Chains A and B, each alone.
Chain A
Amino acid sequence: MREFGYQRVFDVPDALAFGADPEARYLGGGTNLVDLMKTGVDRPALLVDVRELPLDRIEATDSGGLRIGATVTNSDLAAHPEVRRRYPALAQAVLAGASGQLRNMATVGGNLLQRTRCGYFTDSSQPCNKRIPGSGCPAIKGEHRNHAILGASEHCVAVHPSDMSVALAAFDAVVHYETADGPGELPLAEFYLPVGDTPHLETALPSGALITGITLPPAPVAADSRYRKVRERASYAFAIGSVAAALDVRDGAVREVRLAFGAVASRPWRAREAERVLTGGPATPHAFADAADTELAAAEVLPHNRYKVALVRNLVVAMLTELAEEAAR
């Protein structure tokens, strides 16, 4: 591991002053960053420890949503009564990720910024366009069982590993940040950049920006939401496919639906095409399947990740069918 400086900060201006160094990284729980430093994938010269910034609260907003501070731990997010009541899929998504130990350490800000677990990205002896731009993507002809089927490019087919972000995408979360030039915000839909030919550029955050929190707009439909994650063992593994779903049905018709997919793209995949074709139509398994097919028509599969299309389709149909049946009771 490269030697590095360490600076603990207690207010945002200090964090930004130290974070302006292009070789600095903000340190939250360290559950991903320290790991990447040990394996030589990331080599910062300075760690700016932001855990003691006053950004550890979850508060109701005036409009009826929630504001979640960037240093709130995954554990506290998932245990919070208002998160569990208003956005149960978000609590479920966070609980589906990592282990109890890691959720106690990991923060919301760090969760948004975690890096892909693609085996070529995390192995610094391998080429990887995300790690070394222009070096190539061995995954496309190599091990890509858990790689992207949507929105990828010939330069990178890695998936974003966060469960939390999938639920945030379904609920139109907004990411708030601070820079030396003042605050800014990005809707989650614009937070992660398209892959294109620049897979090393992952977010639209300005250089040196510090994520300060997330807001969730009010979403009554989210009260009837859930997150389901498929993985290769029962617990403590990354997703091979996941879905966050929320459904509001009246008289057999879909009034509102939210769908986002995980482990299928370089970012959480909001399924807007599926939502569009469902809204106003019948809440039947047939319609749910048609909607999933519409969204997944854009899928571009590789030899070993073709299974994800059926996996996600089946998840969508099962989850929306369950939600519709519960609404009918």
Chain B
Amino acid sequence: MKVDQVVIGSCTNGRIEDFRTAAEVIRGHKVADGVRMVVLPASQKVYIELAKEGLLALFAEAGAAVSTPTCGPCLGGHMGVLAKDEVCFSTTNRNFVGRMGHREARVYLGSPAVAAATAVKGRICSPEEVTGRKAPASEQAPGGAGGTESPRARGAGR
């Protein structure tokens, strides 16, 4: 599945360890041509830690747009609002119809490691394809590609 956009972070999957995991996949690589990548730390604390560890620069040099902590693309608010027929792979928590922009855009949800690999390859893929090494089971894509939201998903985010 080819993608137009990758989002890593938000209040969901925006912890420092999530970005360390994504950084290990993307280190030494660039975001694929034609793909927008947005990095969203969950909090100011995470943002500062990313800066201290050099990960803001790593993501920016790979070609990502690195944001301060904020709501935005997850709910089609701002930054990377999806157009008709666009495909996004995101580590956020909801992919209801129209969630990230146009009602005919598609959103796949998954882990930071898979999101990072997807940004590099421009299509939904396993981190192994980028790093050449097997990722821990916890970082692999569920069922090979992004998970989908259960109607029972909980959360109080906007």
The answer to whether A and B belong to the same complex is no
